[in-house]
Structure 1
C-alpha cells in the first residue's frame, strides 16, 4: 500500500497528462472557469469522462482531473502549492484519492500546502484524510524524498499558522524526525523561532504532553541548539514537562551537555537559567576529551561564566581534563589573558596558580612553552607564582622557553619566545642543564666563552649560521636604503620647472606633510645605511666578539627603519610591572650582585629591561622631536 503512494496516477495503459487549459486554471486560481470544466459532460478537450469511486456511490468527473504534470504533480498538488483553497475543496470532493498521491519528489498535497503556508488548504486536506481510509491515514505521516513530513516542511519554511493547525489536528507528526535525525522541534529551535517552539510543545486539548521529538543530528537534542540561541527558547523547552528538565544531562556524540554549548557560545543568561535551582550534576559531566564546562569557559575566555559555574561547583579546582589540566591551564594554553587576569586577581583561585598537570607543567610552564608574553607577565605579577618548579622531565619554565628558541636560532626581538626568555632572564629564573636543547649541550662552554669574549676559535657551523644571517640582514638593509635614497630624488609632486620662480625646489616643499616625509625618509636612510655598514664589516676575519656586537646593533637599527612601535610595544606590556614586583630596581637594570669590574655592569645594563625598553623609544622621541620642529618651522617660517 505504501508503494502505491509513491506512484503517479495512471489511467489504463497510459498515464493521463493534465491539459493546458486545466493547468492554466489551476495556476491562476480561476474558480469559475474551473467549475465550468468540471461540470462539462461527455467529452472535454478530447478526454473521455470516467467514473471515480467514492464510497458506496460514484461521482462523475473528467479524466483530465486525474492527470499529472511532467513532475508527477496532480491537480490537487498544483492547487495546494498555490494556496487555492476554493479549488482544493472541490478537487478533494470529486477525486478523494488524490489526497494520498505523491509526485516525483514524494510530496503529498499536504506537503505542498505546508510549504506554501496555506492553512485553509491544509485544513481541507486534513478533513478529507482523517477517517477516510488506511491509505489516507498513512499519508499524514508520509515523508518526501528529503525524509521530511508536512509538519517539518511547515517549520522549515516558517509557516506558523500551518504548524498550529497540524499540531492541533495531527500532533503525532511532531514525533517523526527526518532520515538525518532532524526533528521539527530541533529545527524550530535552530532557526530561533520561539512561536513555533511554543506551538510544537503545546499540550493537547485533553492535557497530555506534546509527543514532539527532541532529537537532532550527532546525538544533539533541541536543548543543545537552544543553548546557543536565546534564553526564551531554552525556557520553553525546560518548561516542557516531564521531558524538558531531563535534557540538561543529555550528551551528544562529542559528550557535551547543553550547558557546555551555552558556555561555548557565551550565552551567559542561558547558563544562569540552566544553573538556577537545578542539579549540579551537569557541571560534573565531562565531554569525550575530559573537559568540564568550567574548562570550556576558560578556553573561550568567559570569566563571568566561570564565576557562575564555581558558585554551584565548590570543588572546581579538582576538575581536570584527560591531561590533568585545570581551568587555568586551559586558559593559558588558549592564550585567554582575560581569564588569567581574573584568576590572578581573585585570591580564592590562588590554588590554581602553581597546580601541575599530568606532565608536571604549571600554567607558567605552558605560557613559556607556547610563547605568550602577556600571559607570562600576568602570572609573574603574582609573586606567589613559583618560577623554579620543574616538570616530570626536570625542566623549568625557562627551560621550556629556551628549548622552543634553540632549534630555530632566531633571536629576533619580535619573536614572542625571545621576549618571554628575556623576562625570565631578568628575574634570574632557574635554568637547568637539561633545559638546553640537545644540540646546544656540547656548546655550553663555548657559549659562556662567547659571552665573556674570551673564545678565539669557534665551530664552523656557528660561524656559517652567523654569516648567513648577516647576509639576509644585509639584503634587507640595502633594499631599505635603496628605496629611501630613490624616494629622496623622486619626491611627491615633483619639482618646479626651470622657467618658474624657485626652480628646482619641490612643489610641496612648504607643506607640513612633505616635511614629515623628509624626516621619515632621512631616518630610514640613515638607520639602514649604518646597519649595512655594521653587517658588511662583520666579516669572518673580524674577531667573534666584534661580530656579535655588530650583528646586535644592526638587528636593532633595521627594525627602526621599517617597524612601527605598535608592533613591539604590545609584546612588552606588563613585563616591567612583573619585574619590578619581583626584583625591584635590580631587576630593571639587570644587576643583582656586586660587579667585579666596570665592564660587567655595563654589559648587564645593555641587556636589561630598562635599556631594552628605552633604546627603541629613543628613536620614537627623536622622530617626534623632528616632527615638532617641522611644525614649528611651518608656523614661524610659513614661506620657507
Structure 2
C-alpha cells in the first residue's frame, strides 16, 4: 500500500495562502503567487507547511520545487482541490504550470480526474484529459487508475449521475467502460441499475471510427446489465438489446442462481419488459431453468401474475411439461404460494385442464397441497372444477382429504375461523371422505409405519391434560369464573341502605348500562364454568378420544367467549361509575375495550392474512 499511495513528487505542505486561493477559486490570486515564485528563480517565496506531525519542524523544500507540488494532510494536491470544487480556470492554469500533478493520487487513491468526475465538472475533466494526452506514460496509467474502492473515474461519474462527464470520458477514453470495480460492478451495470437511459446510451455509443463500444456488462454474482435492467423502465433494456451483437446474447446469460434476465422481469412483475424480451427474440430463454429447476412460468405463478403466464405459454406450448426439481408445475407453485388469482385463472381456462390432476415428485396434486398448507379458498376453487379428482393418493397413500384432516388435528390452535378448520368443513360439506380414522387406523394401501406415525401425532395433540396448553386453558377459565362471580356481588354504584325502600338492591338497577353489565357478567360466568367443566371432564383418561376431542373443541371456543363478555362487563361497569358528566372518558373506555376484543381475537383478523 505504501508503494501505491503517491502523494506527489515531494511531501511538501501547501501554504495557507495557497489553500485560500485554491478553495476560493481565485485565478488572479494564484497567478500572482506563481508570478512571485518565478521572480525568486524557482525558490518558494511563501511559507509552506510540511505534511508532518503537529509541532515538528517541516523540512525545507528542495530547490526548484514549485509551490503547486505541495499536498494537504489528506494527500490532496492543488489540482485535487480545484477539481473537487469545479474551478475550471484554475485547473487549466495548474495543468499548464505543473502537468505532472495529473498522475498524483491522494490517500484515498483518487486522481484529480476522479475528483473532477465526482464533482461533475466537465471542463475540469477536459483540461486533465488534454494534459494526460501530452504527458508521459505515468499520466496514461493514471487515466485507468482505480481508487481504494476499485472504481475508475468513469465509474465515479456514473455513480454520481454526471451524464456530461460520462459522455466526455466515453469520447476521450472509451476503454474505461471495460473496467469493473473489485466487486464486479461495471459502469454499464451501475447506469442500468439507477435507471439512467442517457448514461446507458453514452456507454453503448460506438466510437468515432465506428467500432463498437468496449463497455463491460458484468455485475455482481454473475448478473449482467440486462438482469438489473429487467426491473427498470422499458427503455433501458431496449437500449441494451440494440447493442449489437452483444445485447441480444445477454438474454440467455444466467447469474449465479441460474436466472436469466427474463426471470428477473417476471420476478418484478414487469409485463412490458417480458413482452420486449419475448418479442422478436429467441424463445429459448423461456425454457432455461434456474438452479432449483424453476422456469419463468413457475416464477410468474409464484408471483401471482396471470397475464405474464399467458404471455409465456405463447412461447412455450409444452408449458405443462415444465416442472422444477421437485416435479411441480406452475399450478403447484401457485398453490404453495397461496396465489388465489392464478389458481382461479387456471381453473377457469380449459387449456390448463391437464394441470389440475398432475402430480409432483411426492405424488401430490394441487388439491393435496391446498389441503396440506391450509388454504381453504384455493381448495374450494379446485373443488368447483368437475374434472378435479379428489380420490388421487400421493406416494404415502394419502388423499387430499387425509392431508386436510391431518392438518386440522396436528399442531394447530383451534378457533372457529382457523383456515384448517374451514378447509376441513369444506371437505365435510363436499362429501370428501378421508381414509384416516380418528383412531389412526389406515387402510391397507398405507403401511403400518405411516399409520403409527399419524397415530402418534393425534395422541400428542389430543392428550390435553398432559400438556401445558390444557393446563393453561383450565387456569384461564377458572380465573374468568372467579372474577365474574366476584363482580356480581360488588356491583357498580353500591346497594340501597337498609332504612330505605327496596333495601339491599342495586342503586343503579334501573339503568340500561346496569342491565347490560349483569347480562355480560352472567354470560362470562356461565361460559367459563362450562368450559372449565369440559376441560376437567376431558382430562380423564377413561373418556374416549373422540369424546375428548369434542370437549376440548367446545372448551376452546367457550373460553374466548367468556373473556369477551368479561371485557364488555368491565366497559358497562365503567360507564355506570363515570356517569353522564364524563362522556369523553366513556367513549375512550368503550373504544379501548372494543379494540381489545378485535385485536385479541384471532378468529376476526387472522383469516384476512391468509
Measured against aligned partners, the alpha-carbon deviations of 1:451-495 in whole angstroms (never above 9, x if no partner) come to xxxxxxxx9x9995456565332223234445666788999xx86
Residue 52 of structure 2: aligned partner: none
Residue 528 of structure 1: aligned partner: 528
TM-score of the superposed pair, with normalisation by structure 1: 0.75
CA 1:129–1:5 in 2, change beyond 3 Å: closer, same or farther? farther
Contact 1:402 1:436 in 2 (8 A): no
Contact 1:286 1:293 in 2 (8 A): yes
CA 1:485–1:272 in 2, change beyond 3 Å: closer, same or farther? farther
Supply the distance in 1 between the matched residues of 2:76 and 2:121 (Cα, whole angstroms): 17
Q: Compute the displacement of 1:516 (Å).
A: 7.7
CA 1:285–1:409 in 2, change beyond 3 Å: closer, same or farther? closer
Supply the distance in 1 between the matched residues of 2:295 and 2:32 (Cα, whole angstroms): 70
Q: Does 1:209 align with 2:212?
A: yes
Supply the distance in 1 between the matched residues of 2:461 and 2:156 (Cα, whole angstroms): 71
Residue 423 of structure 1: aligned partner: 426
Residue 277 of structure 2: aligned partner: 274
Measured against aligned partners, the alpha-carbon deviations of 1:16-35 in whole angstroms (never above 9, x if no partner) come to 11112211221121222211
Residue 29 of structure 2: aligned partner: 33
Please show how residues 1-40 of structure 1 align to structure 2 within 5 Å: 6-11=5-10, 15-40=11-36
Contact 1:310 1:316 in 2 (8 A): yes
Contact 1:174 1:183 in 2 (8 A): yes
Contact 2:103 2:138 in 1 (8 A): yes
TM-score of the superposed pair, with normalisation by structure 2: 0.79
Q: Does 1:163 align with 2:166?
A: yes
CA 1:552–1:464 in 2, change beyond 3 Å: closer, same or farther? closer
Q: Does 1:331 align with 2:330?
A: no
CA 1:397–1:31 in 2, change beyond 3 Å: closer, same or farther? same
Supply the distance in 2 between the matched residues of 1:199 and 1:365 (Cα, whole angstroms): 54
Aligned equivalent of 2:295, options 277, 292, 296: 292
Residue 144 of structure 2: aligned partner: 141
Please show how residues 338-377 of structure 1 align to structure 2 within 5 Å: 338-377=341-380
Aligned equivalent of 2:131, options 128, 133, 136: 128
CA 1:443–1:349 in 2, change beyond 3 Å: closer, same or farther? closer
Tell me which moved more, 422-431 or 17-26: 422-431
Supply the distance in 1 between the matched residues of 2:330 and 2:219 (Cα, whole angstroms): 30
Q: Compute the displacement of 1:521 (Å).
A: 6.0
Residue 112 of structure 2: aligned partner: 109
Q: Compute the displacement of 1:234 (Å).
A: 1.3
Q: Compute the displacement of 1:393 (Å).
A: 2.6
Residue 227 of structure 1: aligned partner: 230
Q: Does 1:398 align with 2:401?
A: yes
Q: Compute the displacement of 1:399 (Å).
A: 2.7
Supply the distance in 2 between the matched residues of 1:463 and 1:420 (Cα, whole angstroms): 20
Q: Does 1:245 align with 2:248?
A: yes
CA 1:411–1:196 in 2, change beyond 3 Å: closer, same or farther? same
Please show how residues 152-191 of structure 1 align to structure 2 within 5 Å: 152-191=155-194
Measured against aligned partners, the alpha-carbon deviations of 1:99-128 in whole angstroms (never above 9, x if no partner) come to 011111111000001111111111110111
CA 1:572–1:183 in 2, change beyond 3 Å: closer, same or farther? closer
Supply the distance in 1 between the matched residues of 2:520 and 2:208 (Cα, whole angstroms): 80
CA 1:467–1:74 in 2, change beyond 3 Å: closer, same or farther? closer
Residue 314 of structure 1: aligned partner: 317
CA 1:289–1:543 in 2, change beyond 3 Å: closer, same or farther? closer
| Structure 2 portions without partners, runs of 5+ | 49-59, 436-441, 497-504, 565-596
CA 1:387–1:435 in 2, change beyond 3 Å: closer, same or farther? farther
Q: Compute the displacement of 1:530 (Å).
A: 3.1
Supply the distance in 2 between the matched residues of 1:489 and 1:81 (Cα, whole angstroms): 82
Contact 1:226 1:233 in 2 (8 A): yes
Classify the secondary structure of the residue corresponding to 1:211. Answer: coil
Supply the distance in 1 between the matched residues of 2:352 and 2:189 (Cα, whole angstroms): 39
Classify the secondary structure of the residue corresponding to 2:73. Answer: coil
Measured against aligned partners, the alpha-carbon deviations of 1:525-567 in whole angstroms (never above 9, x if no partner) come to 5433432343345563885587565434323322434476985
Please show how residues 621-636 of structure 1 align to structure 2 within 5 Å: none
Supply the distance in 1 between the matched residues of 2:450 and 2:361 (Cα, whole angstroms): 27
Contact 2:262 2:277 in 1 (8 A): yes
Q: Does 1:553 align with 2:554?
A: yes
Supply the distance in 2 between the matched residues of 1:471 and 1:371 (Cα, whole angstroms): 27
Supply the distance in 2 between the matched residues of 1:312 and 1:300 (Cα, whole angstroms): 19
Aligned equivalent of 1:96, options 78, 82, 99: 99
Residue 72 of structure 2: aligned partner: 69
Residue 591 of structure 1: aligned partner: none
CA 1:177–1:546 in 2, change beyond 3 Å: closer, same or farther? closer
| Structure 1 portions without partners, runs of 5+ | 53-61, 448-458, 574-640
Supply the distance in 1 between the matched residues of 2:379 and 2:316 (Cα, whole angstroms): 28
Contact 2:117 2:153 in 1 (8 A): yes
Please show how residues 473-488 of structure 1 align to structure 2 within 5 Å: 473-481=473-481
Classify the secondary structure of the residue corresponding to 1:44. Answer: coil
Residue 587 of structure 2: aligned partner: none
Contact 2:263 2:296 in 1 (8 A): yes
Residue 44 of structure 1: aligned partner: 45
Q: Compute the displacement of 1:168 (Å).
A: 1.9
Q: How well do the aligned residues superpose, as a CA RMSD in angstroms?
A: 3.7
CA 1:306–1:123 in 2, change beyond 3 Å: closer, same or farther? same
Q: Compute the displacement of 1:392 (Å).
A: 2.3
Supply the distance in 1 between the matched residues of 2:31 and 2:521 (Cα, whole angstroms): 88
Contact 1:335 1:372 in 2 (8 A): yes
Q: Compute the displacement of 1:416 (Å).
A: 3.5
Residue 598 of structure 1: aligned partner: none
Supply the distance in 1 between the matched residues of 2:374 and 2:344 (Cα, whole angstroms): 17
Classify the secondary structure of the residue corresponding to 1:237. Answer: helix
Q: Compute the displacement of 1:251 (Å).
A: 0.7
Contact 1:262 1:271 in 2 (8 A): yes
Residue 628 of structure 1: aligned partner: none
CA 1:507–1:277 in 2, change beyond 3 Å: closer, same or farther? farther
